[in-house]
Amino acid sequence: MYMFNLTDAWILAAIYLAGAKGENAYAQIIENLPVLDRSLPSHAECKSAYDKFLYLGLIVADGDKTSLSLVAESLVKETHDKNTTQWICALEKQLAPYKLKSMCNRFEWQEDQYMRGVELFFAKKGE
């Protein structure tokens, strides 16, 4: 059984933020992770979240581009809060009831793109 967690909610928020800027490649999604007082999710955690989102239809994959489905966009906007931590926690609570018996296994998100996103995240954070 696969369940959603805080990291998944954090990544979903990043997909939303990147999409709002018209930036929906994996590196751009990592770059747009909201700043929380915790370590960045690993590539494996991001890939797991991606596969769960895809299985439930929360994201739309187009090659290496990823965007939220209308349902997910509504969910993210509904929980949005100026306090980032409260926003991510509220989003996690909305995802928590979903228990997945399976998940997709796609390969659009690659580790080299993840590493580029991490570089961009820290460059942006240092500004």
**Domain regions of the chain by residue span:** 2-125
| pLDDT one digit per residue (tens) for the chain, 127 residues | 899 999 999 999 999 999 999 999 999 999 999 988 889 999 999 999 999 999 999 999 988 799 999 999 999 999 998 999 999 999 999 999 998 888 888 777 889 999 999 999 999 877 6
Q: At CA 44, angle to CA 37 and CA 95, rounded to 5?
A: 65
Q: What's the whole-model pTM score?
A: 0.91
> Whole-angstrom Cα distance, residue 99 to residue 31?
28
The single residue listed with the structure tokens 């240092």 is 126
